[in-house]
Amino acid sequence: MSATGKRFGGLLTEAERRHGERIVALRREIHREPELGFETAKTAAKVLAALEGLPLEVETGVAQNGVVATLRGAEEGPVVGLRADMDALPIREETGLPFASEVEGRMHACGHDGHTSMLVGAAHVLSGMRERLAGEVRFLFQPAEEGGGGGRVMVEEGALEGVDWVYALHLWPGLPFGVASTAGGPTMAAADAFEITVRGRGGHGAMPHLTADAVVAAAHVVTALQTLVSREADPTEPAVLTVGQIEAGSAFNIIPESARLTGTVRTVDEGLRRRMPRRIEELAGGVARGMRTDASLEYTFSYPVTRNDPEAADFALEVASELFGKEAAVEASRPSMAAEDFAFMLEAVPGAYIWLGVGDVPGLHTPRFSFDERVLPRGAALLAALALARLGSS
């Protein structure tokens, strides 16, 4: 066993036996009262209560309702940031759990309740071994990951100033239970959004020859857009273009004047990402003009690629291997086309985003997403081990 491995002796057991009940209880409290976007005041209050009594310097109100807690070690040294997201999703829960959401139309369907409780657990574990740390650990509890860009706001407000490395975990369906996985380079895609409005000339549904049908034109635009990935993107470069919403019309027998469609573009290549708006506009406009309509585009660059620092990712896999065993640390073979606003933190500071497997469970962002809570102390131990391995004094 390496010197680093020796520093992990008993860490997982401590997280499970000493702090496991605390971690699970907090997860359930957060799960019952899910909050959206930046409006995570109740969740932040639960975090603060769970950190009460620890030797932390706490700052509140970061990115509106974020919490930043700093643990200073016995000696000066580098700073490690550990981040968890706190917000939920506008989804009606169908898990049947005894601690299911008590807020209609909202649930923690992406595991952020677990991420937050794991980070609180790591704070308790590391506070108990403060004398072994040569440096600082900054615990970053972030709101508004689900579309709000809370990670970007935390960076802009200085939450990562002075941080040398930053890490985050995400519970991951489909990955074997308790297995940690990451890799250097792109680990999750950039996520951008578009809205196309097709305008024509409306009229009676029985007299289409007197109209310029925006609905039919919009349908052809949707079909044509698929060629941007299948025929224009390098097939070795992952890319996704999805139209997720079409709105048009007010009655079954009226051809409307306009149709609106919205969608998302996911890429890992920055050059392709920057080319997509122009090609969408050209293609949609050409199709629309061919059908006696016109199309306008609004395009939003949202979350950049979540790009791991290669050294930080290799380091994380080494730590996970020493903590859990080699079979439970797996290099990711390809990026996910989902997106993460931890990307903004990785643009500011070297670090790595790590998936922690929860096995074969309903997928993220579904009404039935849940997981075996025994993974939570395991995640807390991994977060603590990452900081201890970076900061552990000899």
Pairing label, strands 190-199, 294-303 = antiparallel
Residues 177-200: pLDDT tens digits?
A: 999 999 999 999 999 999 999 999
**Closest to 221 measured CA to CA, from 169, 259, 187:** 259
**Closest to 307 measured CA to CA, from 271, 260, 341:** 341
CA angle 188/116/344 to nearest 5° reads 35
Ramachandran category for residue 204: left, alpha or beta (phi over 0 → left; psi -120 to 50 → alpha)? beta
363 to 139, 370, 385: CA distances (angstroms): 27, 9, 28
Distance CA 216, CA 208 (A): 11
Which sign does the torsion angle of CA 392, 387, 47, 71 carry?
Answer: positive
Least confident window among 8-22, 32-46, 311-325, 359-373: 8-22
Residue 112 annotated as binding site: yes
Share of the chain above pLDDT 90, in %: 95
The average pLDDT across 35-53 equals 98
Which sign does the torsion angle of CA 19, 20, 21, 23 carry?
Answer: positive
The average pLDDT across 122-141 equals 97
Residue 146 annotated as binding site: yes
Residues 209-254: pLDDT tens digits?
A: 999 999 999 999 999 999 999 998 999 999 999 999 999 999 999 9
Structural domains for the chain: 3-186+305-391 (3.40.630.10), 190-303 (3.30.70.360)
Sequence-separated (6 or more) residues with CB below 8 Å from residue 36: 87, 88, 89, 90, 106, 146
DSSP 273: H
pLDDT at 2: 41
Residues 109-130: pLDDT tens digits?
A: 999 999 999 999 999 999 999 9
Pairing label, strands 66-72, 134-142 = antiparallel
pLDDT at 391: 96
- Gyration radius from the chain CA atoms: 24
pLDDT at 273: 96
pTM, rounded to two decimals: 0.94
Residues 82-94: pLDDT tens digits?
A: 999 999 999 999 9
**Closest to 134 measured CA to CA, from 394, 393, 376:** 393
pLDDT at 393: 63
Distance CA 94, CA 218 (A): 34
Q: Is the pLDDT reported for residue 6 higher than 90?
A: no
Q: Which helix (H) or strand (E) holds 268?
A: none
pLDDT at 10: 84
Residue 170 annotated as binding site: yes
CA angle 365/371/372 to nearest 5° reads 175
pLDDT confidence band for 4 (50 / 70 / 90): very low
Residue 387 contacts residue 140 (beta carbons within 8 Å):
no
Residues 247-301: pLDDT tens digits?
A: 999 999 999 999 999 999 999 999 999 999 999 999 999 999 999 999 999 999 9
pLDDT confidence band for 311 (50 / 70 / 90): very high
pLDDT at 49: 98
Residue 189 contacts residue 267 (beta carbons within 8 Å):
yes
The average pLDDT across 204-210 equals 97
Phi, psi of 329 (to 5 degrees): -135, 110
pLDDT confidence band for 392 (50 / 70 / 90): confident
Write down the mean pLDDT value for the chain: 96
Q: Is the pLDDT reported for residue 321 higher than 90?
A: yes
